[in-house]
Homo-oligomer: A and B are copies of this chain.
Amino acid sequence: MLQLPRPNPEQLFHTPTIFGLAVSKDETRIAVATNFSGRYDAWGMDLDCPFPYRLTNEGQVPHAMHFDPQGRYVLVAFDHDGDENAQLYLIPPRGGEKHPLRTHEGRRFMFCTTSKDGNRIYYSSDKDNPTYLCGYVFDLESGEERTLYEGEDGPTVLVAVSDDESSWVTATAFANTYQIAHLHRAGERVSLTPDPGTPHIVDSVEFAGHLVVFATDYQADELYLASFDPQTGSFQRIWAPEKGSVTHVAVHKESQTAYVAVMRGVIDELYRVDLRTGSAEKLSAPFEVMGQLKVGDSGRLYLLGASDNEPGNVWMLDLDGTWRPLTRMRPMGFSPDDLVQADVVHFPSFDGLSLEALLFRPKPEIANGYTIIWPHGGPQAAERKGFRKLFQYWLLFGYQVFAPNFRGSTGYGSHFMKMVERDWGDGPRKDMIASIEWLLAQGLADRDKLFLVGGSYGGYMTLLLHGRHADYFRACVDIFGPSNLITFAQSVPDFWKPIMKQWLGDPNDPADRERLIKDSPITYLDGMTKPMLVIQGANDPRVVKAESDQIVQALREKGRDVEYIVFEDEGHGFMKLENEIEAYRRTMAFLDRHRQASAP
């Protein structure tokens, strides 16, 4: 009898995303940054009736949210239309209009924390020191700002403040794989790790009573849980997972317990670690990847958890060990079973390096035989088993999606991650080709039916693969990818510049320059013979619009088939639903057109 039509894949567009999470001191309320109503805003929820109510009506992304411990305000950091220049605002506790707290045109503020009484706000900013940043404390009572430190050597961000505000920790980055941290106390500063001169990472720093607790890969390939004792100056390894890297740490001081997220390739695991004994217990969880762990004074854990077939939601791990969902973001009309869970595949690359990739296979009854190759962004990031509405959208139209975690990806140790540094265009590109060849050899894709789509570094890789290996692909989509590594290196935000040399290379160094030219997509214009779609946000501060402009112009001058979409009110990503819908629809139309037309 009753046969309702299959859901329209476009319904996926309206799946809300949760971008951030805050928990009030008394754990009666949480706040989520979400595009629940189509545009991003801060929404509140009372835990005794977890139904969301609007806290702001700005239509902008809240980059940080923090409840005043005394309940007098909620601090929210908004940028404007994707420019990433987050400014600090206060809003009334029950929501309302934003009230400027710390703002500076064209500069950004990185909120750290407040004092325990909420009267002082701790943050970093590039407003006085565009390259290395400074840290500040702003006193709400006096209205005065005091500089805590001036960054040096590398961009230096305030990451933790002790309860009594007598000490704080800064993190200084020289590269994504080289970030050290210092404890500042009584005018002195001391490294949390014994030898800050050896490249390693310190991350997720928290004061835990008399100790400072953090994740580090100091003298190791993966990040483990460690501590620094300010009294004795001693560094100590607390606990290392058998496999994987510690990426998030949330400490419950009273019980000296840490909840620790461990990244194992494309999935995360959750552990509870006793800080005193270093013993750890693995906890099961109803999601595959997680982020933003917060522990309340009660000992309850709050986090964002997602799976490839279930959107990110706020979950609470209650004291009795049960997981309670606090939000229920879901794709309208789709159950998790209607969506695709990725296969996790492994294979050797051109040089024998073992690679992991996600293969999303459409339901057999709708498969169209075409495969979209997706090089992820970053490059020091990874494609993981989180919810990707773009992938699921493609899958519902019958496309297969293949996302290899090429060398340089996170989740496979620091050595692997470093392999992309100063080598953006050779090893990772060959990994992509080796991945495609493996997929074809397995009979999992058809050589004549490959598309290439990527964003950010993935857009760069798309352009480069197009320029150097066009024969593989029917058509390519570049979403805000750098096209010219020389101009790209010069146009990134000021405070990225110190890390560019190790990450990418220095255009002023002749040897580097030669490599950057060799690895720049724009060097291979002649090879870019396939139809291309380029998508760019006008306010993108990471990959500026000139990167897309120049490749589009150069290709059009050669008479190539290039469609170009610029969103005037977007940055590096889609934060406005109507833009996202347009980008996805036009990408689908582009793929479909080139699926049916142009025989290889």
Residues of A within 8 A of B (CB): 1-2, 4-5, 7-8, 11, 14, 36-38, 45-46, 49-55, 57, 72-73, 90-92, 94-97, 99, 119, 140-141, 324-330, 332-335
Whole-angstrom CA separation of A1 from B7 in the bound complex:
54
With A11-B57, A55-B332 already in contact, the answer to whether A73 and B326 are too (CB < 8 A) is: no
* Other-chain contact of A96, B45, B141, B332 (Cβ < 8 Å): B332
> Which of A54, A73, A91, A325 is most buried by chain B, counting CB atoms within 10 A of its CB?
A54
CB<8 Å pairs between A and B, sample of 6: A1-B119, A2-B90, A7-B97, A8-B96, A51-B325, A53-B328
- A52 touches which of B51, B94, B141, B324 (Cβ 8 Å): B51
The 3 A-B pairs with the shortest beta carbon distances in the complex, nearest first, are A96-B333, A51-B328, A37-B37
Establish whether residues B333 and A95, one from each chain, have CB atoms under 8 Å apart when the complex forms: yes
Residues of B within 8 A of A324 (CB): 49
Q: Which residues of B contact A5 (CB under 8 A)?
A: 97, 99
Q: Which residue of B lies closest to A55 (CB)?
A: B332
Q: How far is the CA of A117 from the CA of B173 in the complex (A)?
A: 65
Across the interface, which residues of B come within 8 angstroms of A4, CB to CB?
72-73, 90-92, 96, 99
| Distance in angstroms between the alpha carbons of A452 and B326 in the assembled complex | 46
Assembled-state Cα–Cα distance A119/B1 (Å): 9
Complex formed: what's the CA distance from A8 to B327 in Å?
28
Residues of B within 8 A of A1 (CB): 119, 140-141
Find out whether the CB atom of B119 lies under 8 angstroms from the CB atom of A54. no
Pairwise interchain contact A326-B50, C-beta atoms closer than 8 A: no
The verdict on A96 contacting B37 (CB below 8 Å), with A4-B90, A49-B326 known, is no
Which B residues are in CB contact (< 8 Å) with A95?
Answer: 11, 332-333
Nearest residue, chain B, Cβ from A330: B53
Alpha-carbon separation in the docked complex, A333 to B97 (Å): 8
B2 touches A51 (CB 8 A): no
Give the Cβ gap from A306 to chain B, nearest Cβ, in Å.
Answer: 15
Within 8 Å CB of A327, what residues of B? 49, 51
Q: Which residues of B contact A50 (CB under 8 A)?
A: 49-51
Q: A37-B38, A49-B325, A57-B332 are in contact. List 11 more A-B contacts (CB 8 A).
A: A4-B96, A5-B97, A7-B97, A11-B95, A14-B54, A49-B50, A51-B325, A53-B330, A55-B332, A95-B333, A96-B332
On chain B, the residues within 8 Å of A72 by CB distance are 2, 4
A2–B119 alpha-carbon span in the complex (Å): 9
What distance in Å separates the Cβ of A12 from its nearest Cβ neighbour in chain B?
11
Note all chain B residues with C-beta closer than 8 A to A119: 1
Q: What is the bound-complex CA distance between A588 and B243, given in angstroms?
A: 65
- The smallest C-beta distance from A196 to any residue of chain B, in angstroms, reads 38
Query: In this complex, what residue of B is CB-closest to A118?
Result: B2
A73 contact set on B, CB distance < 8 A:
2, 4
**Closest chain B CB from A216 CB (angstroms):** 37
**Closest residue on chain B to residue A332 by CB atoms:** B95
With a cutoff of 8 Å between Cβ atoms, the chain B residues found around residue A90 in the complex are: 2, 4
- Inter-chain CA distance A90–B95, complex, in Å, is 37
The answer to whether B328 and A54 have CB atoms under 8 Å apart is no
User: How far is it, in angstroms, between the C-alpha of A37 and the C-alpha of B2 when the chains are bound?
Assistant: 30
- In the complex, chain B residues whose CB is within 8 Å of the CB of A335: 94
